[in-house]
Amino acid sequence: MNSRTLAEGDTVIFIDAKDRRYMQRLKKGGIFHFSGGYVEHDAIIGRDEGALVRSSLGIKLAVFRPTLSEFILEMPRGAQIIYPKDIGIILMWADIFPGARVLESGIGSGALTMSILRVVGEQGVVFSYEIREDFIARALRNIETFMGKPANLIVKKKDIYEGIEERELDRIILDLPEPWRLVTEAAQALRPGGIILCYSPTIIQSQRTCIELKKNEKFTMISSFEVLMRNWHITEQSVRPEHRMVAHTGFITTARRLSL
Ligand code: SAH
């Protein structure tokens, strides 16, 4: 999976000159069809990652294994994912580290889950609570496609509002409609020094979460923010922000568990 040569079974993305992306799993005898003709997988297998190929109609395509953020944006979705721009910040602000014991909920399409798994590594463990069986199945398929079957992911088909079973957790990340309902539970499940991070699409949700966190003497350092990422168009003639951007995704609230 990490070698420089593309092999059968690898997931790859074909990228055209207009930055359109097409994700494929390489298979001997397989054919990638698109509006610009087709490319035989056999023409890719055995070549270096980053190869340039031409389709049957002469369209130039670059072939790479997807980065985690590219995979997340291309993979099949059930629930709305957390966007890579937010995940990057979440991993830093929740201070996810190799070997950490992390709980997250819900699993959704698995975007955040695979990002946490990659950081905690084999010594860490990720617990994920999700109420919907179909979302669990899809998320596991996505995770396995990207990183193989992780031995350290424990998925629980449960309503997390009924309670968190784990104790001595290092980190809790909640991407749920009503995270404030879990503040008391989270205080019990986190070890002293642990961090809770809640991601919510509306500021009213963040406000309720902050109010609950402030009421709970076990939490301190409560802080909320959002992440704006603006791409720039840069050529010799023009240097300016792109006209379009993702202007809103969600708000992030973090807090730290005191030793009380
Ligand atoms: N973070 C995920 C997206 C999660 S979307 C990703 O990056 O892909 C929110 C998820 O929470 C949905 O899958 C939903 O089914 C789940 N959910 C909602 N309420 C829940 C509850 N009470 N217990 C467990 N999961 C819940």
Read off the pLDDT of residues 27-64 as tens digits, 9 standing for 90 and up: 999 999 999 999 999 999 999 999 999 999 999 999 99
| pLDDT band for position 260 (cuts 50, 70, 90) | confident
Give me ligand 1 centre to Cα 19, in Å.
Answer: 31
Strand partners, 105: 129, 174
Find out whether the beta carbon of 135 lies less than 6 Å from any atom of ligand 1.
yes
Atom 3, ligand 1: residue with shortest CA distance: 108
Distance of CA 218 to the CA centre of its chain: 29
Pocket test for ligand 1, best of 73, 96, 105, 155 (most atoms within 8 A of CB): 105
116 CB neighbour count, 10 Å cutoff: 23
Stated pTM of the model: 0.96
CA-based nearest residue to 36, from 56, 64, 66: 56
For the chain, what is the mean pLDDT? 97
| pLDDT band for position 78 (cuts 50, 70, 90) | confident
Q: Which atom of ligand 1 is nearest to the CA of 106?
A: 11
| pLDDT band for position 2 (cuts 50, 70, 90) | low
Which residues, at least 6 apart from 94, have a Cβ–Cβ distance to it below 8 Å? 102, 171, 173, 195, 197, 254
Find out whether the beta carbon of 109 lies less than 6 Å from any atom of ligand 1.
yes
3 vs 51, more confident: 51
Give me ligand 1 centre to Cα 134, in Å.
Answer: 11
Give me ligand 1 centre to Cα 175, in Å.
Answer: 6
Q: What is the pLDDT of residues 148-164, one digit of tens each?
A: 999 999 999 999 999 99
